[in-house]
Amino acid sequence: KAGVTQTPRYLIKTRGQQVTLSCSPISGHRSVSWYQQTPGQGLQFLFEYFSETQRNKGNFPGRFSGRQFSNSRSEMNVSTLELGDSALYLCASSFLEAGSSPLHFGNGTRLTVT
Amino acid sequence: QKEVEQNSGPLSVPEGAIASLNCTYSDRGSQSFFWYRQYSGKSPELIMSIYSNGDKEDGRFTAQLNKASQYVSLLIRDSQPSDSATYLCASWAGNMLTFGGGTRLMVKP
């Protein structure tokens, strides 16, 4: 069974640009969650989508947005990039809502903002 | 703000010893708890999930949950150098999954 696939693996952007990250969950999983991981802040929850609906949102500015498609694939968008957005962005899928069943993480997208 | 707290470590144990990792959580409504292992430069991978008070064993790993005291622990028996990683504790209270900052474990040969 294929795992969670995130693309691209690495991105370098400049301040002010926008970026879109993609996540394909494990087949049959309907929940996709996004996390930002930095050395100083650890794993910070961004948002969760379940059956195309945003179920929860973390404490991030509106520049961070996402969506989920009918095939459960998800995209995350960050507009007007700032230096502080440099991080590892992790996507995770689960069969049920995140927490009521375990999360399975992708390999992440390493975003560098210069 | 609901929190999950872990000692950042590093926790250093000799090969073959028992490593004990602890985690406390603030939300009394937390229902599910998870331990993830993250190697440097890799993504977290699930080790254990635990939903009710008591112990749950899986191979060399034992997760312990005490809801009254609001703590979760992970014991690793016969620790191996390959167990050296950061261990993340997470709790779920019905809304979102909250992660602790992780404990770095070093197993010395």
pLDDT digit string (tens) for B11-55?
A: 999 999 999 999 999 999 999 999 999 999 899 999 999 999 999
**B62-74 per-position pLDDT tens digit:** 999 999 999 999 9
Contact yes or no for A103 and B46 at CB 8 A: yes
State whether residue B46 sits within 8 Å of chain A by CB.
yes
Interatomic CA distance for residues B80 and A75, integer angstroms: 38
CB-based burial label for A16 (10 Å; 0-12, 13-18, 19+):
exposed
Q: Is the pLDDT of residue B2 over 70?
A: no
Q: Residue B1: what pLDDT? A: 62
Which pLDDT score, from 0 to 100, does residue A63 have? 97
> Which tokens is B98 given?
């909250």
pLDDT reading at A1 higher than 80:
no
Condensed to tens digits (0 to 9), the pLDDT of residues A17-50 reads: 999 999 999 999 999 999 999 988 889 999 999 9
Of residues B23 and B94, more confidence is placed in B23
Chain B residues with CB-CB distance to A106 below 8 A: 43
Identify from B89, B97, B98, B99 which residue to disrupt to test chain A contact, counting A C-beta atoms within 10 A and taking the largest count. Answer: B97
Mean pLDDT of chain A, nearest integer: 94
The answer to whether A98 contacts B92, with C-beta atoms less than 8 Å apart, is yes
Can you tell me whether residue A93 is helix, strand or coil? strand
Residue B93 pLDDT: 85
B96 vs A99: CB contact, 8 Å cut-off? yes
pLDDT of A81 strictly over 90: yes
DSSP letter, residue B82: G
Check residue B28 and give its pLDDT: 92
* CB–CB contact B43 A107 (8 Å): yes
Please give the pLDDT value at position B97. 86
Closest CA to A109 of A5, A25, A31, A14: A5
- pLDDT band for position A61 (cuts 50, 70, 90): very high
